[in-house]
Amino acid sequence: MERCARVHRFTLILCIFLCAAACADGFAQAPPAKGTPPATPRAERILDQRDATPLAAPATPQKTETEKYTLSQDRYEKAIAYSRAGYTLYFVMSFFDVLVMILVLKLGVAAKFRDFAENLSGSRFLQGLVYIPVLVLTLDVLDLPLRLYGHSLSLRYEQSVQRWGSWMWDWAKAELLGTAFAVILVVILYAVMRRSPRRWWLYFWFASLPIIFVIVFVSPWFIDPLFNKFEPLDAKHPELVTEIEKVVQRAGLQIPRERMFLMQASEKTNRINAYVTGFGASKRVVVWDTTIQKTTTPETLFIFGHEAGHYKLGHIRDGFIFFAALLLVTFYAGFRGMHWALDRWARDWRIYGPEDWASLALFLLLLQVVIFAASPLINGFSRMQEHAADVYGLEVIHGIVPDSPEVAAHAFQVMGEVDLSDPNPPAFITFWLYSHPPLADRLVFAHTYDPWSKGEPPKYVK
């Protein structure tokens, strides 16, 4: 989701699992950071009249069965071009960010920022309030041109309809919010470093978990509304909520009508999606208005069933635990990496030790490298959860939605057409970037999954 990408650099790295836990990665995903599911077996190109059909029109069921992911010639070419540009941008941004942080260290910029903060105040706390925003905002401004290019790609390929003024306002809000989080977390980090130079990575991990938990908990109430408009789904689509309640009852879930929300995504994007977010009292299911516009009610029920699977199967909880463990490993790697790097280049970088404010640039660099290297593991875990949610979605609508396998398969077809899902990406890209199983695999699986006719018990919904 794009919502998850609008997080400050430091907060993104430090709270990498926040988005996975908060969003359960949604029904679909937004390139370039996650990519769009590839087509396996390979998608087919077909020449038809859909090139001229407005995608905003509500989808209608196909007369023939949706057995494979197919694209018209025009959309096939656009999907290839858009996806390849997104992949390239992702890796360029990743390596650019690393290069910038290396230069910030090598050219002594981090040390100059530290000297500036120390000259303003002798209080270490006040120094942090100056140094942290200056460093992180500088890093984010430097990669702003690449983010602007990313938005221009979305506009060019009609994935986004958000105007530049609105986009820049969202970017500014994300910077202010992310800077506030960064100040809190970094001040705690360096206080722990000074108190325990050898065990700070463990103690900071303990300290950061409740903070991140609170962020995940309050995000649906206070953070999400800063970027999108939400309203009760029942207010505009009571008939859809009534149908959804049949799925809820079948699943044995406790999701009251007031926990179902409609997001006005069409003000900013043409894409379709849905997701679950929050914990406990803040947990909710969110359906984008574009999803309702471009899919039929049965298809929307399948998408909801998929999200209910995240709800029922405890994916938010499991995601939090998984990424908390990953964060512990990341902090330890940062601890070891800082000592290794400072032993070699501390004098050249004018950094006096790990507790020096100037070492924050090194810490961010190490976290960026570790998280980038862990991307296949993170996305592999996500693909596993997403497949389980697909299975759950198919099972929970069985008997409620007629011809449910075809309905689910066609929902994937619509998603691929609207979102310009890459038909045939390289296997490496799938391994490294994709948080969901290949779209064509999902489509074929949805069309063929039928344990009932084989006399086999369903996996989740008995």
163 and 150 fall within a common domain: yes
The amino acid occupying position 400 is I
Q: What is the pLDDT of residue 383?
A: 95
Q: What six digits make up the tokens of 365?
A: 């660099």
Q: Are 93 and 368 in contact (CB under 8 A)?
A: no
206 and 303 fall within a common domain: no
- Which residue stretches of the chain have pLDDT < 70? 1-25, 29-64
* In a domain? residue 426: yes
Q: Are 420 and 157 in contact (CB under 8 A)?
A: yes
Of 353, 377, 401, the residue at which a domain comes to its end is 377
Burial, 248: exposed, middle or buried (Cβ in 10 Å; 0-12, 13-18, 19+)? buried
Written as one string, the DSSP assignment of 102-143 is: HHHHHTTHHHHHHHHHHHH-S-HHHHHHHHHHHHHHHHHHHT
Residue numbers annotated as active site: 307
16 and 90 fall within a common domain: yes
Q: What is the pLDDT of residue 62?
A: 45
307 and 336 fall within a common domain: no
- Split into its structural domains, the chain has a count of 2
95 and 136 fall within a common domain: yes
- For residue 409, the SS3 value is helix
Strands 274-277 and 70-72: unpaired
Q: 208: how many CB neighbours lie within 10 A of its CB?
A: 21
322 and 272 fall within a common domain: no
Strands 260-263 and 230-232: antiparallel
Q: 210: how many CB neighbours lie within 10 A of its CB?
A: 9
272 and 420 fall within a common domain: yes
The amino acid occupying position 380 is G
pTM of the model: 0.85
122 and 15 fall within a common domain: yes
The amino acid occupying position 302 is F
97 and 221 fall within a common domain: yes
Phi, psi of 117 (to 5 degrees): -65, -40
* In a domain? residue 459: no
Q: What is the pLDDT of residue 29?
A: 56
156 and 95 fall within a common domain: yes
Query: Could you tell me which of 425, 456, 440, 314 has the C-alpha nearest to residue 81?
Result: 425
Q: What is the pLDDT of residue 28?
A: 73
Degrees (nearest 5) of the Cα angle 163, 6, 114?
A: 115
Who contacts 355 (Cβ-Cβ below 8 Å, separation ≥6)? 190, 193, 194, 197
Instruction: Name the residue range of residue 415's domain.
Output: 44-77+229-315+385-448
CATH number for the domain spanning 269: value is 3.30.2010.10
**Distance (Å, whole) CA 238 – CA 27:** 22
